[in-house]
Amino acid sequence: MECFICSKRIEKGYLCKDHANKLYEKLKNREGKIESPTWKNHCSICGEHENRTIIEYPPHGYFCDKDIIEEWNRCK
Ligand SMILES: [Zn+2]
Ligand SMILES: [Zn+2]
């Protein structure tokens, strides 16, 4: 597997530890939060946008709270 953001090789999951932490910080601070996500803001990992908190991480796209929290829990 590789990190969706930096393509660093990782054993499992979708984000390296650095990026899991970075996105978790943004989620916690509501930084880059999309107010009313549409399909255009779908999560780069799972493709969902409904019933999720979507965080924009330019230029890498959008990531949902579910994946961010899962990756953060896996990496911590
Ligand atoms: Zn990374
Ligand atoms: Zn997702």
Q: How many residues does the chain have?
A: 76
Neighbours of ion ligand 2 (CB under 5 A): 43, 45-46, 64, 67
- For the chain, what is the domain count? 1
d(CA 7, CA 3): 5
As given in the structure block, the two tokens for residue 50 are 């409904």
Does residue 51 fall inside a structural domain?
yes
In this structure, which ligand is nearest to the CA of 13?
A: 1
Please give the residue range of the domain that contains residue 37: 17-75
Does residue 10 lie within any of the structural domains? no
| Ligand 2 geometric centre to CA of 13 (Å) | 12
pLDDT per position as a tens digit, 6-25: 999 999 999 999 999 999 99
Task: Assign 50 to helix, strand or coil.
Answer: coil
Domain assignment present for 34:
yes
Which own/partner contact pairs does 44-53 have at CB distance under 8 Å and 24+ positions apart? Answer: 44/4, 45/4, 45/14, 53/27
pTM above 0.85, yes or no: yes
Starting from the CA of residue 18, give the closest ligand.
Answer: 1
Q: Considering the domain boundaries, does residue 12 fall inside one?
A: no
| Distance of alpha carbon 12 from alpha carbon 19, whole angstroms | 14
What are the tens digits of pLDDT across the range 35-61? 999 999 999 999 999 999 999 999 999
Q: How far is the CA of 25 from the centre of ligand 2 (A)?
A: 16
Q: Quick one: what percent of the chain has pLDDT higher than 70?
A: 100
pLDDT at residue 76, as a whole number = 83
